[in-house]
Amino acid sequence: MRRWAIGRVLAALASMSGAAVAVASGCGATDGYDCRDLLECDVMNEDGTSNGGCEGTCVVPRLPGYLPGVFLLRENAGLEDLECDDAVLLKPHRTEEQRKNAIPPSYSKFFVAPGAHPGCDPCACTAPACVFPAGLTVSSGWMCDDGPGQTLTPFDAPAGWDGSCVAPGAVGAEAFGSFRIAPVTARPCEVVASPVPRHGDAPAGGRVVIACDANRGATCPNRGHLCVVGAADMLPGWRRCLLSEEDEDVECPPGEETLGLHFSEKLTFWGEVEDSRACSPCSCTETAPSTCQALVSTFEDDACGDLVAAAAVAENGVCHDAEPGSTLGSVRAEWRVNAPGSCAPSGREVVGELSLRKKVTACCLPEGT
Which of the two residues, 306 and 194, has the higher pLDDT score?
Answer: 306
Question: What is the predicted pLDDT for the residue at 102?
Answer: 57
DSSP label at residue 43: -
Cβ(215)–Cβ(84) below 8 Å: no
* Backbone CA torsion sign across 38, 39, 42, 47: positive
Cα–Cα distance between 160 and 76 in angstroms, integer? Answer: 52
Predicted confidence (pLDDT) per residue in 59-115, tens digit: 998 898 898 889 999 887 765 566 777 777 655 555 565 555 555 666 677 777 666
Predicted confidence (pLDDT) per residue in 21-60, tens digit: 222 223 333 345 555 444 334 444 444 444 567 878 899 9
Question: What is the predicted pLDDT for the residue at 306?
Answer: 95
Predicted confidence (pLDDT) per residue in 244-268, tens digit: 987 877 889 888 888 888 999 998 8
Cβ(277)–Cβ(79) below 8 Å: no
Stretch(es) of the chain classified as CATH 2.60.20: 134-182+291-339
Question: What is the predicted pLDDT for the residue at 56?
Answer: 85
Cα–Cα distance between 274 and 163 in angstroms, integer? Answer: 56
Backbone torsions φ then ψ of 2, nearest 5 degrees: -105, 145
| Strand spans (E) along 235-306 | 239-243, 265-275, 278-279, 283-288, 291-299
Residue 212: strand pairing partners: 72, 106
Cβ(49)–Cβ(55) below 8 Å: no
CATH architecture of 134-182+291-339: Sandwich (2.60)
